[in-house]
Structure 1
Amino acid sequence: MDFEYSAKTRELQARLQKFMDDHVYPNEGTYKKQLQANTEAGKRWSPIPIIEELKLKARPAGLWNLFLPVDSARHSGYEGAGLTNQEYAPLAEIMGRVPWSSEVFNCSAPDTGNMETLARYGSEEIKAKWLKPLLEGEIRSAFAMTEPEVASSDATNIQTRIERDGDHYVVNGHKWWISGAPDPRCKVYITMGKTDPDAPRHSQQSMIVIPADAPGIRIVRPLDVFGYDDAPHGHAEMYFENVRVPAGNILLGEGRGFEIAQGRLGPGRIHHCMRLIGLAERALELMCKRSLERVAFGKPVAQQTVTQERIAEARCKIDMARLLTLKAAWMMDIAGNKVARTEIAMIKVVAPNMACQVIDWAIQAHGGGGVSGAFPLAQAYAHARTLRFADGPDEVHRNAIAKWELGKYGSFGKSAPAPVTRGA
């Protein structure tokens, strides 16, 4: 294994870091003010002007669709940066330091996963209608999988029905935690549901592309996380009620939903984990600066042994998580998602737990300010905590890892499938 970044990656890292230094970090306050202004004007779900302004700078700077891998670029007819998972990972880390910044580069979830899905599995008509405007940044999208009535940690539980009716499918279901659905720019949903409840367990589900303006779609409410609703993107609870969709909108064909999900979730988990590592790095940076400034019991908080221990532990945990994530990305690149399944599951346990712990220590070093809106840490913690559920809860990934480990010493666990769970 060689985790030395390629010359191409190093050059993109430098350009991306400069863009962050010149345009993103100086505008964090602007973003906050504009979000507040939208809220006061009753337009909480409207796009934030500074993000739209920065998009116009990022694209000509060659920092657009950086996530788009070689195979998806080939299928889509568009050029991304053409990076491997290992090459894109450190770029995702840089973007992760400011949670909203990935949208500036058209690299934010769930659009990235949806674009890869449409590029790999969509018809030419679907690509022209939905993939092209997504890659251009003209619209946004959502991925509708999780349901409130069932434990979506086991995706075979999904109850949404996708039933054939002549030249159409009719979709009925109740979904929630649908990232991006409240955003007025969301124009399409990739939706998972059952086409054949009597088929073998992993052949019951399918994925279908549903226009957001199709009659019968009803958004009930935005959902909040520890009091944050993440406007203007956010998550929603929604219903599909007798929604009619052309039969050609089914992806790959009936019963292939799990196959598509496996192709979609692997890269997405790399992206999530590396963004979390960037968020944890930012928290550690803030922790160090704040502890050097504050004085308690006659000396800076940074000189308190407990603070030094936490800083040291944070440094170790972040670097370990990064190396494990890079290993997973490397294995996906050279051997594929199936071979890398253990590493993918491991990073989904390690990275969110690491980020929660590091951010928590940073909050503690900030005192009461840490849980206020004066610093970005409280919202960062809320974001990191949700990712112990997104793309599958810790428990599901731990169970899979244990079964595969036991499978080395006997028949138990050898055939255990990779987790297919809620995706963002």
Structure 2
Amino acid sequence: MSGVPFAGGIGPGASFPDEVQELRARTRNFIRSTVIPAEPRPGQALNLAVRRELSEAAKAAGVYAPHVSKDFGGQGLAVEHWSPVFQEAGYSPIGPAVLNCMAPDEGNMHMLHLIGTAEQQRRYLAPLAAGEISSCFAMSEPHPGAGSDPDALLTTAIRDGKGWVINGRKRFTSGATFASFAIVMARTAESGTAPAGATMFLVPMATPGVSLGAPIHTMDKYLPGGHPHVDFDDVKVPAAAVLGEPGMGFKHAQVRLGPARLTHCMRWLGLARRALDIALDRTNSREIFGTHISQLGIAQDMIAQSVIDIETSDAIITQCAALLGVDPRSGSALSSVTKVHCSEAVYRIIDRAVQLCGGDGVSDGLPLAQYLNEVRPFRIYDGSTETHKWAIARRASAARRHAVEAGEPFQGTVNADRWQR
């Protein structure tokens, strides 16, 4: 099996089939030879015409939409094989958008493939996978609505004959500016066999009553479509607009949220590898105090810590991806751990790269400062670090309680005789 080294000479965390390695190698070559030379200046958005041109080149190179089924024009990778390819795509901040494996479209495609009806896949998934349209996921709301706590959902959908009427306000609706449709999470009442809860709806952005609200100006710039507010005022949709089943929106959303957290980790780890490469090139060529910076102990410690962060992130991503492939529930729980670790580690790696490059690191002569701006929000997006830690701790405590109830020894009481010599 051929092995193309990752950035910085660091290898993959696991062995992958030959076809995955070959796709990874093609993706690596395409990003470096075609995408990186077309990158905009740091802080500038990718021109949509340039993106379309690069995406057509990606299709010709056989690297487009690696996560999408071959039936819909993608490369057909299983979830457990996404990481090496997504990391190669993420080596350029515009790479995932060019390869159509960028959020929120990537997560929406995955969910439509798994739970969409044949008609929903024809109408929404096929053009989305082909790059003919884009989408958004309307979940977060202005306070006191849903944010870190999804149970605070305020947007409602009320039955109206055979259809539904949606009312609510959303914010941080990533990609909404250019989206053709939104997947909208709304609260619905109990009806027939459908429980009360949340329901997901497929809503074309051109539907009467849907309007873009105020933009939200954030420090990250590379996501096409930004993160605006979106308003839904008496938006009427047919029964066929329901994605999944009424009242089961939160359950169905786990199909999207677990892998989506993980693919963020994959893409940003690719960018962290790029940042470390930039720092290594600098420290290997610049001299200070009579030697190359890379030979100074303080710099070596920073480089080593970044390598450790990359290796541990790669390992936990690989483990979580493998688990998602066989046990989505457990994989979703582990994705919280993975998201916390990787979002913090990626920021540390890029921050060290800035420090190692000194004044150039904080200037626009290098892209590192913008990389830092791009990854900093990841510690908040898709659930803040603190929210995930809260959930992780609750799961750990509950698991231990259940183990004790099942007969495992309780460790909270010390038997003094145990320590007698």
TM-score between the two structures when normalised by the length of structure 1: 0.85
SS at match of 1:320: helix
Question: Does 1:156 pair with 2:151?
Answer: yes
For the 8 Å contact 1:47–1:232, the answer to whether it is kept is no
Asked if the contact 1:162–1:193 (Cα under 8 Å) also holds between the matched residues in 2, the reply is yes
Pair 1:54-2:54 in alignment: yes
**Could you tell me how far apart the structure 2 residues matched to 1:353 and 1:397 are?**
12
Instruction: Give the letter aligned to residue 262 of structure 1.
Output: Q
**In structure 2, what is the equivalent of residue 376 of structure 1?**
367
Question: Could you tell me which residue of structure 1 aligns to residue 395 of structure 2?
Answer: 404
Deviation at 1:196, TM superposition (A): 2.2
AA aligned to 1:206 is T
Q: Extract unaligned runs of 5+ from structure 1.
A: 37-43, 415-424
Counterpart of 2:121 in structure 1 is 127
Q: Could you tell me how far 1:197 is from its partner in structure 2? A: 8.4
The alignment's C-alpha RMSD in Å is 2.5
Match of 2:14 in 1: 3
Alignment CA distance shift 1:260-1:177 (3 Å): same
| Cα offsets for 1:17-56 (capped at 9, x unmatched) | 111122112222xx339x96xxxxxxx7x94332211111
From 346, 355, 376, give the equivalent of 2:346: 355
Q: Is the 8 A contact 2:72 2:130 kept in 1?
A: no
Change in Cα spacing, 1:318 to 1:229, as seen in structure 2 (3 Å) is closer
Judging changes above 3 Å, is the alpha-carbon distance between structure 1 residues 246 and 154 closer, same or farther for their aligned structure 2 residues?
Answer: same
Distance 1:10 1:54, change over 3 A: same
Q: State the SS of the aligned residue for 2:282.
A: helix
Deviation at 1:11, TM superposition (A): 0.9
Matches within 5 A, 1:190-339: 190-196=183-189, 203-226=196-219, 228-230=220-222, 232-333=224-325, 335-339=326-330
Which deviates the most, 257-266 or 77-86? Answer: 77-86
Contact 1:85 1:270 in 2 (8 A): no
Q: Deviations over 1:260-303 (max 9, x none)?
A: 11111122122111111111111111111122333444444333
Identity over aligned pairs, percent: 33
1:137 maps to which of 131, 136, 142: 131
What's the counterpart of residue 415 of structure 2? none
- State the alpha-carbon separation in 1 of the partners of residues 218 and 288 from structure 2: 33
- Higher alpha-carbon deviation: 120-129 or 405-414: 405-414
Q: Distance in 2 between matches of 1:340 and 1:127?
A: 25
Q: Distance in 2 between matches of 1:231 and 1:117?
A: 20
AA aligned to 1:32 is: R
| Residue 80 of structure 2: aligned partner | 86
Indicate the residue corresponding to 2:63 in structure 1: 63
Q: Residue 394 in 1 paired to residue 403 in 2?
A: no
**Amino acid in structure 1 at the alignment position of 2:335:** I
- Letter of the 1:67 partner, please give it: H
1:41 counterpart residue number = none
Correspondence for 2:34: 23
**Matching residue's letter, 2:16:** Y
Distance 2:172 2:225 in 1: 12
Paired residues of 2:139 and 2:170 also in contact (CA < 8 A):
yes
Query: Does the 8 Å CA contact 1:229/1:235 hold for their aligned counterparts?
Result: no
User: Secondary structure of the equivalent of 2:182?
Assistant: strand
Secondary structure of the equivalent of 2:121?
A: helix
Contact 1:198 1:204 in 2 (8 A): no
For each residue in 1:237-257, what CA deviation from the matched residue of structure 2 results, as whole angstroms up to 9, or x when unmatched? 221111111221011221010
Contact 2:35 2:94 in 1 (8 A): no
Q: Is the 8 Å Cα contact of residues 164 and 170 (structure 1) preserved in structure 2?
A: yes
* Residue 286 to residue 356, structure 1, CA distance change in 2 (3 Å): same
How big is the shift at 1:116?
1.8
Q: Which residue of 1 aligns with 2:91?
A: 97
**What is the count of residue pairs matched by the alignment?**
390
- Judge conservation of contact 1:403–1:413 (CA < 8 Å) in 2: no
- State whether structure 2 residue 41 is matched by structure 1 residue 32: yes
1:152 match: secondary structure: coil
CA distance in 1, matches of 2:222, 2:14: 34
Whole-Å separation in 2 of the counterparts to 1:393 and 1:215: 34
**C-alpha deviation, 1:229, in angstroms:** 4.3
Residue 23 of structure 2: aligned partner? 12
Q: Is the 8 A contact 2:283 2:294 kept in 1?
A: yes
Return the offset for 1:412.
9.2
- Structure 1 position 194, deviation (Å): 0.5
For 1:197 and 1:359, locate their aligned partners in 2 and report how far apart those are by CA, in whole Å.
48
> What secondary structure is seen at the aligned counterpart in 2 of 1:190?
strand
TM-score (norm 2): 0.86
Partner of 2:174: 179
Moved more, 349-358 or 400-409: 400-409
SS in 2 for 1:411: helix
